[in-house]
Structure 1
Amino acid sequence: MKKLTSKQYLIIASLIFGMFFGAGNLIFPVHLGQMAGKNWLFAAIGFIISGTLIPLAALLALAVTRADGIFGLARPLGKKFALTFLILVHLTLGPLFATPRTATVPFSMFSDHFSKGMQPWALLIYSAVFFGIVYYCSLSEGKITDRVGKILNPSFLALLFIIFLIAAIKPMGATSSTQASADYLAAPLTNGFLQGYNTLDALAALAFGITVVTAIKGFKIKEGKETSLALAKTGAIGFAGIAIIYLILVALGAGSLHYFKLSENGGIAFAQIAHHYLGTFGEALLATLATITCMSTAIGLVVAFAQDFHKRFPKISYRTFLTFNCLLSFAIANFGLTTIIAWSTPVLMFLYPLAIALIFCGLTSKFFNNDPAVYKFAVYFTIIPALFDGLNAAPSIISNTAFTKAALTFAGHYLPFFSLGIGWLTFGIAGYLLGLGIHLYKSKASSQAVELAD
C-alpha cells in the first residue's frame, strides 16, 4: 500500500494553498474584523469554518464518491439538476461574480487616489486592460502566466507577512476596545460563518477540486481509502495555513478601527492598513502584486469556464465561451466591488446551503450506498428555505418589494434560525434523516424479500 512521502505531502498542501488563497481572499477577513470589532475572535472562527473546513470537506466528498467534479457529485439528483447546478456554480465563479471581482479587488486597493468623479473612468480603463490581457493569455493557455504566478504569488505572500510582522511589533491598538456592528454584537459566530461564503472556496472546491485528487493519484496512490486519507492530511496542512492568515487578517481589521472608520469594502480597508505600515511605496507594491496575482486567478477561472462549457456544449467553441466570459466579466466589473458583493450575497446565500447539503451527502455516501433518495431529500428540503435566505440578503431594490416583505414575514414566523441567516439548516438535517430512514427501510425490506425467496 503506497503512501505519500513528506515532500509529496508538502507539494500537495502547497497546491491546495495556492488554489484557494489569493489576493481576493484578503479583503473579506479584514472587513469582517472591522465589522466584528471586539467580537473578532468568534467571527473569525465562523469565517474559518465556512472558508476552510467546508472547502476541505468538498475535496474529501469528491475523493469519497470518486466524482469528477460538480456534475459527478450531483449526479444522484438526476442529470438535469446536476447540469443546472453546474451552470449556476460556474456562472457564479465565472462572469457574474468571481471573475469580475479579480479586477475590482486590486483596483479598490488604489481607487482612493482618484477623485469620486474620476473613479468610474479609472475602473473602466483598468478593467479593459486587465481583461484584455486575461483574454490574450487565455487564448493559448500560455504557460508564462503559470511561471509568473509561481514567482509573484510568493512575493505577494512575503509582503503580506512583512505587514503581519510590523503589525505584531507595533499594533494599531487593542482589539478588545473596538466597537462591533449591531449584527456582530448579537451573533458574531453565525455572521462570520456567513461572511465566509464570500470566499467562494466551497464552490471552487467542487468545481476544481478534482485537480487536487488527480495530483495525489499522480503519485501512484490508487486505492480510494488511501487517496481520501492523503487528501485529508494534505488538505488539513494547506487549509491550516489559510486559516492562520484569516485569523491574523480579522484581528488586523478589528485593530484598524483605532485609526480608520468602517470602510465600504475590504479592499479599501486593506489598502489603508498597508499604507499605515508601509507608506505609499508599500501600498503601490501591494496593489501591483495583487493585480498580477488576481490576473493569474482570472486566467485560471476563464480557462476552466470555457473548457467545461465547451465540454458540455461541444457545438460552441472554446474561444466563443472565452470571449463571452471576458466581455461579461469586464461589463460587470465596472459596477464596482461593493455592488458586486451586494448582488453576489443573495446568490451565495442560496447556492451555499445546497453545496453544503451535497458535500455532506457525498462525505457520508458510503453509509447509504450512494442512494439517490438521501441526496434528493437532503437537497430538496434545503432549496426552499435557502431561497428565503437569499431573498433576505437581497439589495433593497428586491427586499423592499411587497412580495419579498410578505415572503420574509412568513419565513420569519415559520423557519427556525431564519433571523440568523441559516433558515435552511433544520430543513436540510430533517431531509437528510428522512432520506436515510427511507434508505434503511428499503434495505431492510429488500433483505427480508431475499430471505423469503431463499
Structure 2
Amino acid sequence: MEKTKKSYSWKQLLVVSSLIFGMFFGSGNLIFPVHLGQMAGSNWLSAGVGFAISGALFPLLAILAVVVTKSDGLYDLAKPVGKWYAALFLVLVHLTIGPFFGTPRTAATAFEMAAKPFLPEKYTSLGMLLFSAAFFGLAYFLTVHPTRLVKYVGKYLNSIFLVLLAVVFVVALFNPMGALDQTATGAYQSNALTSGVLEGYNTVDAVALLALSVTFVHAVRDLGFKNKQVTELTAKAGTVSVLLEVVIYFGLVLLGAMSLNQMNLSANGGTALSQIVTHYLGRFGTVFLGALVTLGVFTTAMGLVVSFAQDFHKLFPKVSYMTWLRLTTFVSFVVANAGLDNIIQWSLPVLMLLYPLSLALILLSLTAKLFKKNPLVYQVTMLFAAVPAVLDMLASSPAVVSKQALVAQVLSAYHTHLPFADLGLGWVVPTLVGYLASLTFVLLHGTATTVYQSEETPIEE
C-alpha cells in the first residue's frame, strides 16, 4: 500500500490558505467594498453582510462543492448534467474569466493604477503594450511549472500583498476620517442587504473558484496529500482564506463609509480607494497603491492562466499544458491591448448567464449524496435555472439586443411576473422549484432512474 502523510502542519494549512486567497482576491475585491461603503453610509453593516454573502459565502460553497464531490476540476463537477454540457460550461466559464475578459482585465487594472499615473498621455498606448508584455511574460514564466504555484503565490506574493494592505488598515485605524453616520445613497437607503448581495456578484468569485478549483486541488496533491487528506486540507484552507476575505471586506467597507466625512461620493471604487490612500500617504500613496493593486491582480492572473491550461488540457489531452498556457497568456495580452470596453460590454451578459448556473451547480454538488448524483436531478435543476439565466443575460446585453421589440416584451413580462426578477435574481425561485421537484421524484421512485457515477471519482458509501 502506498504510504501517505497522516497529517498536515499549521504552516502547510496557512500556505495553502494563502494560495487560494491569492488566486481569487483581485482588484474587484479591493474596489467594490470601498464603493459599497460610500454608498451605504450609515447602513454599512447590513450592506457589508450582504456583500459577504455573495462575495465570500458563495465562493466558500464553491470550494466545498469541489472537495465534497472529489472533482478534479470544473469538467468533473458539471459532468453529471451531461458530458456535452460539462464541456460547454467549462469553455464558457474559462473564456469569460480567462483570456476574453478576466485575465486581460488584471493587466489593464494594474497598468491604470501602477504605471499610467506616471506616463505622459501620448505614451499611454506604448506604455500599456510594454507593461502588459512584461506582466504576462512574467506570469507565463512563473507558471511554466504549476507545482511551484504554492511557493510563488502562497508563500511570497500574497504575503507581501497582505502586509501592504495591513499598513493601510493600521494607518486608518489610528487616524479615522470620521463617524459612520453618513446618509445612504439610492437603493442602500431601504434595501441595503439586497443591494450588498448584488454588489458582491461583481467579484465573480463563485464562478471563478469553480474554475480555479483544478489548480488548488492539484497544488495540495503536489504537497504529497491524497484522497481524504486533499479534501480535508482544501476545505479547511478554503474556509481560512474566505474568513480572511470577510475581515478585509468589512475593513474596506468601513474605509469607504468613513471617507464620506472627508470627500464626496466617488464615481467608482478605484477612484475612492486612490483618494483614501492618497489622503493617508500623500504622493507616496500613488506608488503604494500601484504596488498593492499590481500584487493583488498578478496573483489572480497566475491562477487564471494555470487553471485555464490545466482544465483545457484535461478536456483536450492531445494539446499539451504548455500549449494552452502559451495560448491563454498570448490572447490575454492581445485583448488587454485591444481595448477592454467592448469586451466588458459583451462579457457582463455572459456573467449574468454563468452565475445562476454556477450557483445551481454548487447546490447540486453539495447535496449530491442525497440523490447519488442522479442525472435527472442535475438536468431538471439546470434547465429551470437556465431559462431565467438566459433572460437575465438578455436584460444586461447592449441595447442592440435588449431593446429589440420581441426581447423587450419578453423581459417586461419576466420582470413583472417572476419574483425577484427585477432585482436580477429571477433564477432563484425556478431553480429551487426544479431542484425540489426532481429531488422528490427521485427519492420517491428510488431506482427507477439511472444513477450517474463518475469514472474518475466514484461515489463512496
Regarding TM over 0.5, the answer is: yes
Q: Which residue of 1 aligns with 2:41?
A: 37
2:270 aligned to which of 267, 271, 295: 267
- Structure 2 partner of 1:380: 383
Contact 1:178 1:257 in 2 (8 A): no
Instruction: Identify the residue that residue 71 of structure 1 maps to in structure 2.
Output: 75
Match of 1:332 in 2: 335
In structure 2, how many angstroms separate the alpha carbons of the residues matched to 1:260 and 1:339?
A: 31
1:247 aligns with 2:250: yes
Alpha carbons of structure 1 residues 35 and 97: separation in structure 2 relative to 1, 3 Å: farther
Instruction: Work out the CA distance in 2 between the residues paired with 1:37 and 1:345.
Output: 27
1:291 aligns with 2:294: yes
SS at match of 1:96: coil
Tell me what 2:454 maps to: none
Q: In the alignment, is the contact (CA less than 8 A) between 2:149 and 2:219 conserved in 1?
A: no
Looking at structure 2, the residues matched to 115 and 355 of structure 1 have their Cα atoms a distance apart, in angstroms, of 43
On the 8 A contact 2:104/2:335 being kept in 1, the answer is yes
Q: CA deviation at 1:208?
A: 2.5
Q: 8 Å contact 2:52–2:246 — kept in the other structure?
A: yes
Question: Which residue pairs with 1:430 in the alignment?
Answer: 433
Q: Which moved more, 1:1-10 or 1:324-333?
A: 1-10
Q: Under a length normalisation based on structure 2, what TM-score does the superposition of the two structures give?
A: 0.84
Aligned partner of 1:449 in structure 2 is none
2:175 maps to what in 1? 170
Letter in 1 for 2:63: L
In structure 2, do the counterparts of structure 1 residues 89 and 189 end up closer, same or farther at CA, with 3 Å as the change threshold?
same
Q: 1:367 aligned to 2:356?
A: no
Decide whether aligned partners of structure 1 residues 257 and 106 sit closer, same or farther in structure 2, where only a CA change above 3 A counts.
Answer: farther
Amino acid at match of 2:394: L
Give the letter for the 2:30 counterpart.
L
What is the Cα-based RMSD across aligned positions, in Å? Answer: 3.2
Task: Tell me whether 242-251 or 401-410 shows the greater mean CA deviation.
Answer: 401-410
The question of whether the paired residues in 1 share the 8 Å contact of 2:22 and 2:153 is answered with no
User: Which position in structure 2 is the counterpart of 1:441?
Assistant: 444
Aligned in 2, Cα 1:170/1:430: closer, same or farther, shift over 3 Å? Answer: same
User: Paired residue for 1:57?
Assistant: 61
Q: Is the 8 A contact 1:17 1:238 kept in 2?
A: yes
Map of 2:163 onto structure 1: 158
Q: Which moved more, 1:106-115 or 1:154-163?
A: 106-115
* Distance in 2 between residues matched to 1:164 and 1:48, nearest whole Å: 18
User: Which of 196, 206, 226 pairs up with 1:202?
Assistant: 206
Gaps of 5+ in 1: 447-454
Cα offset, 1:141, TM superposition: 6.2
Unaligned runs of 5+ in 2: 450-461
- Structure-2 change in CA distance of 1:288 and 1:13 (3 Å): closer
Describe the superposition over 1:48-85 as per-residue Cα deviations: whole angstroms up to 9, x where unpaired.
11122112112212222121111111111010000001
The Cα offsets for residues 149-178 of structure 1, whole Å up to 9 and x where unpaired, read as 743432222121111112122222323214
| Aligned partners of 1:156 and 1:286 also within 8 Å | no
Q: Which whole-Å CA distance do the structure 2 matches of 1:117 and 1:396 have between them? A: 33
C-alpha deviation, 1:316, in angstroms: 4.1
Distance in structure 2 (CA, Å) of the matches to 1:78 and 1:220: 32
- State the partner residue of 2:139: 134
Change (3 A) 1:114 1:149: farther
Within 1, Cα distance between the matches of 2:164 and 2:199? 25
> Could you say which residue in structure 2 is the equivalent of 1:345?
348
Separation in structure 2 between the aligned mates of residue 88 and residue 304 of structure 1, nearest angstrom: 14
Contact 1:34 1:256 in 2 (8 A): yes
Once the two structures are superposed, residues 183-217 of structure 1 have per-residue CA deviations (whole angstroms, 9 ceiling, x without a partner) of: 32342222222222232322232223245445666
Moved more, 228-237 or 33-42: 228-237
Deviation string 1:382-421 (CA, Å, 9 cap, x unpaired) is 0011122222333445433434422320211222111111
Counterpart-to-counterpart distance in 1, 2:99 and 2:226: 36
Distance 1:219 1:298 in 2: 22
**Secondary structure, counterpart of 1:390 in structure 2:** helix
Distance 1:318 1:335 in 2: 26
- Supply the distance in 2 between the matched residues of 1:322 and 1:403 (Cα, whole angstroms): 42
SS in 2 for 1:172: coil
Name the SS for the 1:177 alignment partner: coil
Note the alpha carbon deviations across 1:302-354, whole angstroms, 9 max, x for none.
23323322332244454553444234323433466776655443222211111
- Write the letter of the residue equivalent to 1:30: V
Of 311-320 and 151-160, deviating more is 311-320
1:90 to 83, 94, 112: 94
Of the candidates 101, 104, 121, which is equivalent to residue 105 of structure 2? 101
CA 1:168–1:292: 2 relative to 1, 3 Å: closer
- Aligned partners of 2:8, 2:313: CA distance in 1, in Å? 35
Aligned residues of 2:309 and 2:321 also touching (Cα < 8 A): yes
- % of aligned pairs identical? 47
CA 1:323–1:113: 2 relative to 1, 3 Å: same
SS at match of 2:99: helix
The answer on whether the counterparts of 1:101 and 1:340 sit within 8 Å (CA) in structure 2 is no
Report SS of the residue matched to 1:175: coil
- 1:419 equivalent in structure 2: 422
Could you say if the C-alpha distance between residues 100 and 410 of structure 1 is closer, same or farther in structure 2, counting changes exceeding 3 Å? same
Provide the C-alpha distance between the structure 2 equivalents of 1:58 and 1:106, rounded to a whole number of angstroms: 27
| Distance (whole Å) between structure 2 residues aligned to residue 340 and residue 36 of structure 1 | 29
Letter in 1 for 2:82: G
Instruction: Please show how residues 107-118 of structure 1 align to structure 2 within 5 Å.
Output: 107-110=111-114, 111=116
Q: 1:268 is aligned with what amino acid?
A: T
- For 1:390 and 1:115, the matched residues in 2 are separated by 39
Q: Which amino acid aligns with 2:109?
A: V
Whether the 8 Å CA contact 1:172–1:259 is kept in 2: the answer is yes
